[in-house]
Amino acid sequence: MINQVATNGHATSNQNGIVIDCKLKQVYYGDFLAVRDSDVPIEKGKITGFIGPSGCGKSTVLRSLNRMNDLIRGFRFEGHVHFHGQDVYARNIDPVVLRRYIGMVFQQPNPFQMSIFDNVAFGLRLNRFRGKVGERVEQALTRAALWDEVKDKLKNNGLSLSGGQQQRLCIARAIATEPSVLLMDEPCSALDPIATRRIEELMIQLKQNYTIAIVTHNMQQAMRVADTTAFFSVEMSKGGRTGYLVEMGPTQQIFENPQQKLTKDYISGQFS
């Protein structure tokens, strides 16, 4: 089924195609309202890009999806996030288990201080994976387009790799446990253009097996990789700046024919 874009800018679509249905009402850090009113459905097998100016809450929304924000003091989420029909913010949901299904790649490459092999095997061992760990590690590294570069030095420390390789290692580590969704929080912002291009190619390949949501401050990147794009903006409010979703739809439409003036201004401001 194809998504249809409603006139209010929010996408509505067939429930079957949606892996994570995020209906965010308000997110607070302490007393500070960080994000409000953002309905962000993440479609299966597609790449959803989050764009917007700094402080617009795109990372907060992304990190709300697998409850990574729970680690931040004062974080409070109002609304719900449905994942396979369950509200991940329900009282009986264990965020630790949830994060095994929704993997994450961070802005800074953050391999563990251990060998390349152990980095990738970490999640498998965590889940007491019964099977051939070596095969899964190879598979994950191959999918992350890193295998050929590291197959002869799997015992080397993960931190000995270059930045771009480290980030691919982190992707391999995240996909080794076969999560159904991969969240990527500005995965290329610490990388040079060549490494960035490799990660982008990789994301497009990974789409076959995983659903991806990516935050990026690089609009060209969103244009290149995202199938659906969500544009967030920020407004002054009591106690600080509050982010919210302005518009979400197929990437081509967001960039070529945005429905909202804010989106249009932001996009043209960057490119004209």
Partner 1 sequence: MSPVLPAVEGRAVQATGAGARPAAPRLRRSPWETRALRSTLLTAGAWLAAIVASVPLFSVLYMLIVRGGSRLSWEVLVELPPAGFEMGGGFGNAIVGTLVMVGLGALISVPVGIAGAVFLAELGPNSSLAAAVRFAAKTLTGLPSILAGVFAYASVVLVTGTYSAPAGAVALAVLMVPTVLLTAEEAMKMVPRITKDAAYGLGCTRSQVIWKIVLPTAMPGILTGVMLAVARAAGETAPLLFTALFSSYWLVEHGAVGLMRPTASLAVLIYNFAGMPFENQIELAWAASLILVMIVLFINIASRLLGRRRA
Joined together, the tokens standing for residue 230 give 């969500």
Segment lying near partner 1 (by CB under 8 A), choices 48-56, 76-84, 141-149, 172-180: 172-180
Interface with partner 1, residue 108, by CB under 8 A = yes
Please enumerate in sequence order all residues whose Cβ is within 8 A of that of 55, keeping only pairs 6 or more positions apart, or say none. Answer: 234, 241, 243
Interface with partner 1, residue 90, by CB under 8 A = no
Q: In the complex with partner 1, which residue's Cβ is closer, 122 or 210?
A: 122
Each residue 57-76 as x (binds partner 1 by CB under 8 A) or -, in order, gives: ---------x-x--x-x---
Q: Pick from 2, 97, 194, 236 the residue near partner 1 by CB under 8 A.
A: 97
Q: In the complex with partner 1, which residue's Cβ is closer, 69 or 229?
A: 69
Minimum distance from residue 219 beta carbon to partner 1 (Å): 25
Write out the binding residues for partner 1, residues 119-138 only, by CB under 8 A.
Answer: 122-123, 126-127
Interface with partner 1, residue 156, by CB under 8 A = no
Binding site for partner 1 (CB under 8 A): 66, 68, 71, 73, 96-100, 103-104, 106-108, 110-114, 122-123, 126-127, 170, 173-174, 177
